[in-house]
A and B are shown apart, each in its own frame.
Chain A
Amino acid sequence: MSATAFKSYRPPVIEPSEEGDELLEVAMGPHHPSTHGVFRMDVALDGERVVKLKPVFGYLHRNHEKIAETASYLAAMPYTDRLDYFCSLTNNWAYALAVEKLAGLEVPERAQYIRVITAELTRIQNHASAIGFLLQEMGASGTPLMYAFREREKILDLFEELTGSRMMCNYMRFGGCRVELPKGWLEKVKTVVDGLPQFIDETEALLTGNEILMARSQGVGVLKPDLAVNAGITGPMLRAAGVNYDIRKVDHYGIYDRFKFRVPLGDHGDIYDRYMIRVLEARESVEILKQALKDVPAGPIMDPKSKIRGFRPKVGEAYGRIEAPKGELGFYLISDGTGNPYRYRVRPPSLINLTVLEDMCLGQNVADVVLIFGSVDIVLGEVDR
Chain B
Amino acid sequence: MLGEGMLKGLAETAKNFAGSFVSKERMTTVQYPEERIAPIENTRDFPFLVYDGSDAMAGLRCVACQICEKECPPKCIYIVKSTDKKPDFVGKMQIYPTRFDIDISVCMSCQICVEVCPFEAIKMDTEFELSTTDRFGGLLYDREQLSKSNEHYHKIHPTEAAEVDARLAEEKAKAEAKAKAAAEAAAAKAAAAAAAALPKEAPAKEPGA
Is B110's CB under 8 angstroms from A78's CB? Answer: yes
**A206 lies within 8 A of chain B by Cβ:** yes
**B43 lies within 8 A of chain A by Cβ:** yes
Chain A residues near B109: list those with CB within 8 A. Answer: 165, 168
**A76 lies within 8 A of chain B by Cβ:** yes
Chain B residues with a Cβ closer than 8 Å to the other chain, count: 30
Mask for A162-200, Cβ within 8 A of B = 1, else 0?
111100101000000011001000000000000000000
Is A76's CB under 8 angstroms from B42's CB? Answer: no
In the complex, identify which listed stretch (B5-13, B82-90, B96-104, B174-182) lies at the interface while the others stay far away.
B5-13
Task: Tell me the residues in window 159-197 of chain B with beta carbons closer than 8 Å to chain A beta carbons.
Answer: none
CA distance A308 to B114 in the complex (A): 11
Q: Please pick, from A75, A163, A209, the residue contacting B42 in the complex, using a CB distance under 8 A.
A: A163
Q: How many A-B residue pairs have CB under 8 A?
A: 82
Chain B residues near A209: list those with CB within 8 A. Answer: 4-5, 8-9
Is A208's CB under 8 angstroms from B5's CB? Answer: yes
CA distance A170 to B44 in the complex (A): 11
A143 to chain B, nearest CB (A): 6
Chain A contact residues: helix, strand, loop or mixed: helix
Chain B residues near A293: list those with CB within 8 A. Answer: none
Is B73's CB under 8 angstroms from A207's CB? Answer: no
Is B9's CB under 8 angstroms from A160's CB? Answer: no
**A294 lies within 8 A of chain B by Cβ:** no
**B130 lies within 8 A of chain A by Cβ:** no
CA distance A214 to B111 in the complex (A): 47
**A357 lies within 8 A of chain B by Cβ:** no
Is B6's CB under 8 angstroms from A170's CB? Answer: no
Mask for B1-42, Cβ within 8 A of A = 1, else 0?
011111011011100100000000000100000000000111
Mask for A148-170, Cβ within 8 A of B = 1, else 0?
00000100000011111100101
Chain B residues near A75: list those with CB within 8 A. Answer: 71-73, 112
**B206 lies within 8 A of chain A by Cβ:** no
CA distance A209 to B118 in the complex (A): 59
Please, which residue of chain A has its CB at the minimum distance from the CB of B157? A164
Is A164's CB under 8 angstroms from B111's CB? Answer: yes
Q: Assuming A75-B72, A164-B124, A205-B12, is B118 touching A170 (CB within 8 A)?
A: no
CA distance A77 to B111 in the complex (A): 11
Chain A residues near B16: list those with CB within 8 A. Answer: 147, 202
Chain A residues near B28: list those with CB within 8 A. Answer: 153
Task: Tell me the residues in window 341-360 of chain A with beta carbons closer than 8 Å to chain B beta carbons.
Answer: none
Q: Assuming A165-B109, A308-B116, is B8 touching A72 (CB within 8 A)?
A: no
Q: Assuming A163-B42, A170-B110, is B73 touching A79 (CB within 8 A)?
A: yes
Please, which residue of chain B has its CB at the minimum distance from the CB of A81? B110
A213 to chain B, nearest CB (A): 8
B127 to chain A, nearest CB (A): 14
> Hey, which bits of chain B sit against chain A, CB under 8 A?
2-6, 8-9, 11-13, 16, 28, 40-44, 67, 71-73, 108-112, 115-116, 118, 124
What are 28 A-B contacts defined by CB distance under 8 Å? A67-B73, A71-B73, A74-B115, A74-B116, A77-B110, A78-B73, A78-B108, A81-B110, A160-B42, A161-B40, A161-B42, A164-B40, A164-B124, A165-B44, A165-B109, A168-B108, A170-B110, A202-B12, A202-B16, A205-B12, A206-B9, A209-B8, A209-B9, A210-B5, A211-B3, A211-B4, A212-B6, A309-B67
8 smallest CB-CB distances across A and B, nearest first, come from: A209-B5, A78-B110, A164-B44, A75-B73, A164-B42, A206-B9, A210-B5, A206-B12
> Hey, which bits of chain A sit against chain B, CB under 8 A?
67, 71-72, 74-79, 81, 143, 147, 153, 160-165, 168, 170, 178-179, 182, 202, 205-214, 308-309
Contacts A182-B42, A213-B5 known; list 20 others, CB within 8 Å. A74-B71, A74-B115, A75-B72, A75-B112, A77-B110, A78-B73, A160-B40, A161-B40, A164-B40, A164-B111, A164-B124, A168-B108, A205-B9, A206-B13, A209-B8, A210-B6, A211-B2, A211-B6, A308-B115, A309-B71
